[in-house]
Amino acid sequence: MLHQTELIQFAIAIIGIILVLLVLRRAARKSRDKANLTARERLGVETEAPQRQRRRPRPGQKVEPEPREDEAPDEEPEAEEPEAEVDADTRDAYKAGLAKTRGGFVAKLGRLFGKKKIDAQTLDEIEEVLMTADIGPRAATRIFDSVKGGLSRDELESPDKIWSKIRRTSKEILAFDAKPLDTTTHQPFVLLVLGVNGVGKTTTIGKLAQKWTTEGKRVLLAAGDTFRAAATEQLEEWGKRAKVDVVKGKPNGDPSSVIFDAVKRGVEEKFDIVICDTAGRLHSNAGLMDELKKVRRVCDKAMPGAPHETWMVLDATTGQNAIAQAKTFKADMEITGIVLTKLDGSSKGGVVLGICDEMKVPVRFVGVGEKIGDLRPFDPHAFVDALYADAASEAA
Ligand SMILES: Nc1nc2c(ncn2[C@@H]2O[C@H](COP(=O)(O)OP(=O)(O)OP(=O)(O)O)[C@@H](O)[C@H]2O)c(=O)[nH]1
Ligand SMILES: [Mg+2]
């Protein structure tokens, strides 16, 4: 009898110990999960970035084992990083334009990767640097997840491996399936240029006119900003410098009628390219969008199918604000390309990642100064290489 009681007491003690162990394990897991999320939680950032999810298997479906934490998830070696296709001058312009950005979040990352061990706390710090880097929360999450989930524990010890992963993911964000620009598909090729005031629309149009006339094309400009006093004179000035004609209307006249006249003249006189300037500000935002929609309809009346491209100009110095502007315009206008201006002097050049991730339209050109020759084609590979160039050594 006594023997039996002892046995029962022993069993109860064992169950008690097991329960305590279970509770302790659960508490430890909770605190680990919490530590993992602190950067995003602390910053209050919500992202719509796709989460990696494992679907519940269907009955009979073969289940692949989960990759172990200390294994690289991809068994296959990653392909070589694609080569950039721009000249040395463009590479230098990117490098100079991105100097301040490299001194900002890129250098901060470099300092973290220089630490001996990338532990949970360092990962948390990396996430925080990315989240506050003016590249937008979606792009930041995508890059962070590729580092955290795409590298084994051993690879996380190597700054080179981490930089390579970051470069690769950044290139994936920028280089989606965009067709190269071809202005010979129509004659004239009609390009509508939009953007809020002061971002550099008129300056960019002047630079484009110069670039395309130098390549032997006949270019015509349309002074569609009739709202701001002196906007037409400003475009005429650029027209003189690039030696191209400008179609203009009356001050405070209807911008659509100016653009209609320009496209009609482009068709009749067989110009190669018509570039239409527009206002960046009206009495109200809704008024601006309605007017821009009308401009599009009128282009199509003057030449069915026009405009053939609609580019949004964004100012790189405004950081995340540029992403917000892009979203607003995208909702109402069919944007087909981006020009990012004022890369020179911006510490927020990484914003291009957020813009591409958000808009899913190609960046066509970047502005690297105020002069007529300060426009460069955009090449995602060269841009990313310049963005992270010498990051480790500069950070040291
Ligand atoms: N540093 C630098 N300045 C630029 C660049 N592009 C434009 N700017 C300057 O930005 C200012 C505004 O340029 P605009 O071309 O007038 O801008 P906008 O979008 O036409 O402005 P609104 O007509 O008022 O809507 C000017 O002082 C330009 O010289 C660039 O790539 N780099
Ligand atoms: Mg303007």
Per-residue pLDDT tens over the stretch 150-169: 888 888 888 888 899 999 99
Three-class SS state of 389? coil
Q: Is any ligand 1 atom within 6 A of the Cβ of residue 198?
A: yes
Q: Is any ligand 1 atom within 6 A of the Cβ of residue 201?
A: yes
Q: Is any ligand 1 atom within 6 A of the Cβ of residue 367?
A: yes
**For the CA of 199, the nearest atom of ligand 1:** 19
Interval 77-95: pLDDT, tens: 555 555 557 889 999 999 9
Tokens of 303: 């030449």
Task: Give percent of the chain above pLDDT 70.
Answer: 81
Distance from residue 202's CA to the centre of ligand 2 (Å): 4
Q: Find the DSSP H helices in 303-367.
A: 320-332, 351-359
Q: Is any ligand 1 atom within 6 A of the Cβ of residue 278?
A: no
Residue 107 neighbours by CB distance under 10 Å: 17
Q: Is the pLDDT score of 232 beyond 50?
A: yes
**For the CA of 197, the nearest atom of ligand 1:** 25
Q: Is any ligand 1 atom within 6 A of the Cβ of residue 152?
A: no
Q: Find the DSSP H helices in 132-200.
A: 137-150, 159-174
Interval 17-72: pLDDT, tens: 888 888 778 766 655 555 555 456 655 655 544 443 333 444 444 444 344 444 44
Q: Are 213 and 219 in contact (CB under 8 A)?
A: yes
Three-class SS state of 157? helix
Distance from residue 278's CA to the centre of ligand 2 (Å): 7
DSSP annotation of 51 reads: P
Please give the helix or strand (H or E) that residue 100 lies within, else none: helix 99-101
Q: Is any ligand 1 atom within 6 A of the Cβ of residue 200?
A: yes
Q: Is any ligand 1 atom within 6 A of the Cβ of residue 345?
A: yes
Q: Are 247 and 221 in contact (CB under 8 A)?
A: yes
Three-class SS state of 295? helix
pLDDT at 67: 40
Q: Is any ligand 1 atom within 6 A of the Cβ of residue 225?
A: yes
Q: Which residue has the tokens 């999810």?
A: 53
Tokens of 57: 């298997």
Counting ligands in written order, the one closest to the CA of 196 is 1
* Cα(125)–Cα(106) distance, integer angstroms: 13
**E strand map for the chain:** 189-194, 219-224, 245-247, 273-278, 309-315, 337-341, 363-367, 375-377
User: What phi-psi label fits residue 198: left (phi over 0), alpha (psi between -120 and 50 degrees) or beta?
Assistant: left
Interval 315-372: pLDDT, tens: 999 988 898 888 888 888 899 999 999 999 888 999 999 999 988 899 999 999 999 9
pTM of the model: 0.80
Report the candidate in 280, 277, 281, 210 with the shortest Cα–Cα distance to residue 248.
Answer: 277
Interval 191-208: pLDDT, tens: 999 999 999 999 999 999
Q: Which residue has the tokens 């009356």?
A: 250
Kindly list the distances between the CA atom of residue 239 and the CA atoms of 192, 212, 242, in Å, as whole numbers in the listed order: 16, 12, 5
* Cα(299)–Cα(193) distance, integer angstroms: 13
- List all residues 6 or more positions away from 227 whose beta carbon is below 8 Å from its beta carbon: 252, 255, 279, 281, 282
Cα–Cα–Cα angle for 274, 278, 283, nearest 5°? 165
Q: Which of 192, 193, 197, 203 to mutate to test the pocket of ligand 1 (most atoms within 8 A of CB)?
A: 203
Q: Is any ligand 1 atom within 6 A of the Cβ of residue 224?
A: no
Distance from residue 160's CA to the centre of ligand 2 (Å): 44
Report the candidate in 376, 387, 384 with the shortest Cα–Cα distance to residue 83.
Answer: 384
Distance from residue 280's CA to the centre of ligand 1 (Å): 11
DSSP annotation of 160 reads: H
Distance from residue 98's CA to the centre of ligand 1 (Å): 19
Tokens of 272: 């190669």
